[in-house]
Amino acid sequence: MIGPQVLTLQIDSDLFALPVARVQEILDLAPFLKVPHWPTHLLGVIDVRGTGVAVVDLRLLLGLAPKPDDAATRLVVLRLDTPRGPLGIALKTERVLEVTELDGPKQDPLPETGMADGVSRFVAGLGRRDGKLVAMLDLDGMFDAETLDQAQGAKAA
Query: Is the pLDDT reported for residue 2 higher than 80?
Result: no
Q: Where are the alpha helices (DSSP H) in the chain?
A: 58-61, 117-120, 145-156
Please check the confidence at residue 59 and state whether its pLDDT lies above 70.
yes
CB-based contact 102:129 (threshold 8 Å)? yes
Q: Which pLDDT score is estimated for 148?
A: 58
| Amino acid found at 142 | M
DSSP 22: G
Q: Which CATH number fits the domain that encloses residue 38?
A: 2.40.50.180
Q: What domain count does the chain have? A: 1
pLDDT in tens, 78-91: 988 777 777 789 99
pLDDT band at 96 (very low <50, low <70, confident <90, very high): very high
- Rounded mean pLDDT, 53-75: 92
Tell me, what amino acid is at 96? V
pTM value is 0.83
Residue-range definition of the domain harbouring residue 133: 5-156
Q: What is the pLDDT of residue 3?
A: 67
4-35 tens-digit pLDDT:
789 999 999 999 999 999 999 999 999 999 98
pLDDT of residue 112: 65
The candidate with the shortest Cα–Cα distance to 67, out of 120, 14, 127, 119, is 14
pLDDT tens-digit readout, 113-151: 544 444 467 888 888 888 888 989 988 777 655 565 655
